[in-house]
Structure 1
Amino acid sequence: TDQPPDAQNLIKLIIFKTIMSKSLTSSPNQRMTRYQILTLISMASVNFSSMICYSILGPFFPSEALKKGASQTVVGLIFGCYALCNLVGSLVLGKYIVQIGAKFMLVSGLFVSSVCTILFGLLDRVPEGAPFISLCFIIRSVDAVGFSAAMTSTFAVSAKVFPNNIATVLGSLEIFTGLGLILGPPIGGWLYQSFGYEVPFLALGCFLFLMVPFNIYVLPTADPTKDSFFRLFTHLKIVLICFAIFTLSSGLGFLDATLSIYALDKFKLTSGYVGLLLLGLSLPYCLSSPLLGIISDRFPSIRPWLMVIGGLSTATGFFFLGPMPILQIERQLWLLVLMLTVIGFSLSMTIIPTFPEILNCAYEYGFEDGLSTLGLVSGLFGAVWSIGMFCGPTLGGFITQQLSFEWAASVQGGLAFLAVCMHIYACYYTDSSEGERGSNTVLVWCS
């Protein structure tokens, strides 16, 4: 029922997803099999349908919630609770994806999310105040579990079916994620302006429901594993990458909860134009993800520096988004659009390398090569993303209410800059015992 974004969830929500290519039984240039083609179509439909439903809230829901008696902080919590439940769902479902079954998890997640999207469209009939706010929390929490099920399965299944040059495949799949994020806000804003609150959710919820039978295809299986998320977190490199993921999702979650209200208030835009404004964020991400996926596959050694450059760009985007009050720069609509574009592009530059880096670390540290590990890494990625999507709108909404949007955006920029500093430290100051692998926490970031 919302975006990531982001992503994601973004990404976002969202998201947003690549894997270090590993040579298994086939050549990277081998033609795709029928099974791989069907899987690719399935994953693309999941990304698109989930993201278009996830992103429709941005242009109109925050202002609609304010009319129903919710404060800016509560609006942030409504967005944040989605991410919190997504966090729990990603951890649990990522751990037990083999036992549950990837196919069942994916289809069930789509079904739950579609029903919740439709129910969310009926909330305008609920009395304002506590009843409305309570049902917002309940429906979005259940929706988050369904979303985490679908997206965790997408990560793991795509990685299993495309073991060679998977960054290119998943980078290409981000076209459909981006299309969902691009089309969601303007379609949602237009439907809201033309037909009212209910129609955007009912129409897109039914569309998501139609994706359920389309995605009933055979998916890979694997044996259970004894590995755990806690073992992943014993390695400092993985922790640093996860912090970078956190800063990205936090920033996107913050924009979800606050940007539309800021644009409506400061620039007097309509909900339809706010939806178009969000294109500045999602369109660059959509266009750049496939190219960056190819670059990540062909030149894996530059992944850390893609993250550093992307992080610096993200920090710059948030510092000038408001802009930061101490800069004494007058707010301008063109500057807001430009900085959203910078953030959208830097998002793909930063997030594309993170998934393969975590997976590569897992293999280096002795995790088994199979769907079980892919499920763990997918769940970890989704969980960390969800933590950011919870903290971003919650704390960002609070700071916006107490201070201003400009200061809240500056805080998000500061987090991104901190992640960059940690990356640079990891690049230049590696542990003296970098030859040891497995159970130690040595940093071999730039080897």
Structure 2
Amino acid sequence: MATVMTGYRDVDEASNYPGSSYARALSVRSPSLHEPLEETPPPKGYSRKEMFVLVVCSCSSMFMHMGLSTIPLVLPIEITRKGVPYEFCGAIFSVFAISIVILEPFQAKILPWIGTRNSFVYSALLGGVCYVSFAMIDFANTVPGFATPAIIIRFVEGFYYAVLITASNVIVCLTFPDRASFAFGVLEGFVGAGFTLGPALGGVLFKFCGFVAPFLLIGACLLVTAGLGYCALEQITGLNLAARKKEKKRLIRDTAFIGCSLLTMAAGIVWGTFETALEPYLATYEKGPLVEGLVFAIAYLAYGAMAPLWGFIFRKVEMDYRWILVGPLVVALCWMVLGPIPPLSFIGKRLWLDTVCLFVLNTAIAYIFVFSFDTMLKRAIFCGMEGDVATYALVVAGFFSSIYIGEAIGPIIGGYLTANKSFQAVATVAVFIQFAAFALGAIIMLIAWNKIIRRLRRKLHQKFPRWVSPPEDPSVARESGETSPLHSSIADEEEEYMNIFQPPTPSRKTGAIRYLPPKSYGSIC
């Protein structure tokens, strides 16, 4: 039996609709703040269907990122062999991220309209076709014949990726609403597994079978995943679901949400830079594609191993969201040694040291990504939004939009500096970006802007009473429900947080968040 928390949505397991794999996403009790909590034993394990859903979504994450990590390893080599100007490499990588940035903001509307299963299946099919088509460009022998189809395919590939990654994350959030950060960490672990297997397997296939083989394999895997998704997933739609404008406005203005988006974008720039700058740098060691693929694999193994661990930690330990600021500092320090930047040039180039730096750097990026997603999801609920398919789609769309805005910028920086400067210049720019992201994030997250704005409005109202309205009393605003706790002072925020959060108990290892009475959590077709 699940924990019953009257007036709160159960953050452990609760099922008002037995037999549905998304039942816990539909569990809400009628509000009451004064009734006692019923203590019951915690739930045991996961059902077979839930595990199957997690396996299918994990496979999709792994296969799509095998493709993403294989391309940065083999495409620069193929472009150089065919005599294509290296600036086209940056364009091929950037157009993929640009298409994601174009489509991702609309996912909050597209996914509830098309439905979770249809979005998953159709996007996986499109991805398989894209990779098979990308393998065929090897037969082009002219610059326009190679570059033009590559750019078009990568642009379309961005559409498939945006829908599939959003659908996978929304599905696991609906399946494990009480363990959303942990489930996201598991998916990100398979993202890391894909990044690890992609260069290792892709490097071997490229060396012995040529350019075509790795992409045919990945395309076939995605086509198989589409079939598994059709058989394993339930169709959930939410045409009648939409967050109220007031809640959306609160979320968009929330300093924690803005800060996490900024730091996520900065981490995305790092990955985008790697796509065009890392392989040429490793090639200077003259160790061949097998060793380069191994270095890529070790680096991304850190992300794959640490993402689930960070998700588990963030589920068990309540951490202030401001601790995310540690992430860009670690990334900047790794770049300083990886270059190394000119002031540290006495360190010299050492392959083992570069490998260690890449491992630590990707551990820090896993920390940023998982912590950001966990914080952004909690903030959405904290702003009064409901835990339904529309809310999850909105948060996932915002999260991945931030990443791929960075990934659209990164390849341009890496491609230009690699072609015209050196890897030291790439590292110097990357360090500057990370320190700038840390500074802006600290300004956004650590300053009580709402207090400052209230004081400023009070002074302006005294001088210009006709032109500036007086600031609203925060205590009166809270009683009327017209303010967000996320824009109050830290003390006000903690007071409001305790009104909606129940701490863990011996039989309930996680707390519970109160929800507003929902309209609907979506329909299962």
What's the offset of the Cα at 1:421? 2.5
Indicate yes or no: 2:298 matched with 1:280.
Answer: yes
In structure 2, relative to structure 1, the CA distance for the partners of 1:370 and 1:71 (3 Å cut) is same
Task: Check whether the contact 1:426–1:443 (CA below 8 A) recurs between aligned residues.
Answer: no
- Please state whether the residue corresponding to 1:301 is helix, strand or coil: coil
Deviations 1:255-297 (A, max 9, x none): 0111111111x21121121111112321111111222111111
Choose which of 338, 353, 356 in structure 2 pairs with 1:321.
338
Choose which of 318, 339, 347 in structure 2 pairs with 1:300.
318
For 2:23, the equivalent position in structure 1 comes to none
What's the offset of the Cα at 1:30? 4.1
Indicate yes or no: 2:369 matched with 1:351.
Answer: yes
In structure 2, relative to structure 1, the CA distance for the partners of 1:96 and 1:87 (3 Å cut) is same
What's the offset of the Cα at 1:396? 2.1
For 1:220, the equivalent position in structure 2 comes to 236
Indicate yes or no: 2:166 matched with 1:147.
Answer: no
CA distance in 2, matches of 1:355, 1:408: 28
CA distance in 2, matches of 1:397, 1:369: 41
Indicate yes or no: 2:108 matched with 1:62.
Answer: no
CA distance in 2, matches of 1:144, 1:154: 15
What's the offset of the Cα at 1:92? 1.9
Stretches of structure 2 lacking an aligned partner (at least 5 in a row): 1-8, 16-40, 452-473, 495-525
For 2:183, the equivalent position in structure 1 comes to 169
CA distance in 2, matches of 1:227, 1:191: 51
* Count of aligned pairs: 426
CA distance in 2, matches of 1:28, 1:357: 25
Task: Check whether the contact 1:237–1:443 (CA below 8 A) recurs between aligned residues.
Answer: no
What's the offset of the Cα at 1:29? 3.8
CA distance in 2, matches of 1:392, 1:88: 17
CA distance in 1, matches of 2:54, 2:490: 33
In structure 2, relative to structure 1, the CA distance for the partners of 1:427 and 1:60 (3 Å cut) is same
Deviations 1:149-195 (A, max 9, x none): 11011111111111112222222233322211111001111101101
Structure 2 residue identity aligned to 1:294: F
CA distance in 2, matches of 1:70, 1:390: 21
For 1:10, the equivalent position in structure 2 comes to none
Task: Check whether the contact 2:322–2:446 (CA below 8 A) recurs between aligned residues.
Answer: no
For 1:42, the equivalent position in structure 2 comes to 56
What's the offset of the Cα at 1:314? 0.8
For 1:94, the equivalent position in structure 2 comes to 108
For 2:509, the equivalent position in structure 1 comes to none
Choose which of 320, 332, 340 in structure 1 pairs with 2:358.
340
What's the offset of the Cα at 1:87? 1.3
- Please state whether the residue corresponding to 2:449 is helix, strand or coil: coil
Deviations 1:119-140 (A, max 9, x none): 1111111132122111111001
In structure 2, relative to structure 1, the CA distance for the partners of 1:309 and 1:203 (3 Å cut) is same
In structure 2, relative to structure 1, the CA distance for the partners of 1:124 and 1:162 (3 Å cut) is same
What's the offset of the Cα at 1:440? 7.5
In structure 2, relative to structure 1, the CA distance for the partners of 1:302 and 1:36 (3 Å cut) is same
Task: Check whether the contact 2:255–2:444 (CA below 8 A) recurs between aligned residues.
Answer: no
Of structures 1 and 2, the one scoring higher in RCO (CA 8 A, sep 6+) is 1
What's the offset of the Cα at 1:90? 1.4
Structure 2 residue identity aligned to 1:130: P
For 1:9, the equivalent position in structure 2 comes to none
Deviations 1:222-246 (A, max 9, x none): 3331558974433332221111001
For 1:13, the equivalent position in structure 2 comes to none
In structure 2, relative to structure 1, the CA distance for the partners of 1:116 and 1:299 (3 Å cut) is same
Structure 2 residue identity aligned to 1:438: S
What's the offset of the Cα at 1:415? 1.6
Indicate yes or no: 2:219 matched with 1:201.
Answer: no
Task: Check whether the contact 2:108–2:391 (CA below 8 A) recurs between aligned residues.
Answer: no
CA distance in 1, matches of 2:416, 2:289: 23
In structure 2, relative to structure 1, the CA distance for the partners of 1:256 and 1:143 (3 Å cut) is same
What's the offset of the Cα at 1:441? 4.7
What's the offset of the Cα at 1:395? 2.0
What's the offset of the Cα at 1:114? 0.8
For 1:261, the equivalent position in structure 2 comes to 280
In structure 2, relative to structure 1, the CA distance for the partners of 1:337 and 1:365 (3 Å cut) is same
Q: What is the RMSD of the two structures over their aligned residues, measured on CA atoms?
A: 2.5
Indicate yes or no: 2:262 matched with 1:243.
Answer: yes
Q: Which has the larger radius of gyration?
A: 2
Choose which of 135, 143, 151 in structure 2 pairs with 1:129.
143
Structure 2 residue identity aligned to 1:239: I
Indicate yes or no: 2:484 matched with 1:438.
Answer: yes
Deviations 1:15-59 (A, max 9, x none): xxxxx9945736864432343222212211111221212221122
For 1:371, the equivalent position in structure 2 comes to 389
What's the offset of the Cα at 1:338? 1.4
**TM-score, normalised on structure 1?**
0.88
Task: Check whether the contact 2:237–2:389 (CA below 8 A) recurs between aligned residues.
Answer: yes
Percent of residue pairs bearing the same amino acid type? 23
CA distance in 2, matches of 1:181, 1:190: 15
Choose which of 447, 462, 471 in structure 2 pairs with 1:429.
447
Deviations 1:294-330 (A, max 9, x none): 111112324431x222221111111211111232231
